[in-house]
Copies of this chain bind each other. A is one copy, B any other.
Amino acid sequence: MPDRAPLELERFLPYRLSILSNTVSQAIAREYQTRFDLGVTEWRVIAVLARYDGEGLAAREVAERTAMDKVAVSRAVARLAAAGRVIRRTHRGDRRRSVLRLSARGWAIHDAVAPRARAHERDLLARLDVGERECLERILDKLLGAVPTA
């Protein structure tokens, strides 16, 4: 017997996650998309470069830490480098690798965008009570735990 009970899309977890994620991301993205001509992928690259600034990162490491594939990273970095927002050198000792760092201009973008991103997150969480916030943390840890890039 076929399962004709139709799927209720609007109660379906993956669907709701997709809507929520898109809505939230777009809301934040709008902030920097037009103002800084910065795409989501580029913003992610900037964020990880800011975080692991010390030694400079290879593109592959950026890809790991952003859950983006290497093509997306390559293109984002190309655009960022062209705009003078990241500095791309070649790794001495392994000339396949690039060594990526934020330029002063890149840091300026980060410093302008990061607080706004955090504010958005705060606004979102403000709609939940304390218990729900804790619970959401736990849920995300559990569900993302099994994911490769976590």
A residues lining the B interface (CB < 8 Å): 2-10, 12-25, 28, 44, 47-48, 50-51, 53, 65-67, 107, 110-111, 114-115, 117-118, 120-121, 124-125, 127-128, 131-132, 135-136, 138-140, 142-144, 146-147, 149-150
This protein's copies in its complex: 2
Complex CA–CA separation, A147 to B131 (angstroms) = 22
Given contact pairs A15-B44, A128-B139, A6 touches B53 in the complex (Cβ within 8 A): yes
Q: Which residue of B lies closest to A52 (CB)?
A: B6
Verify B142–A138 contact, CB threshold 8 A: no
Given contact pairs A7-B114, A9-B66, A47-B9, A132 touches B121 in the complex (Cβ within 8 A): no
Min Cβ gap A71→B in Å is 16
Min Cβ gap A6→B in Å is 4
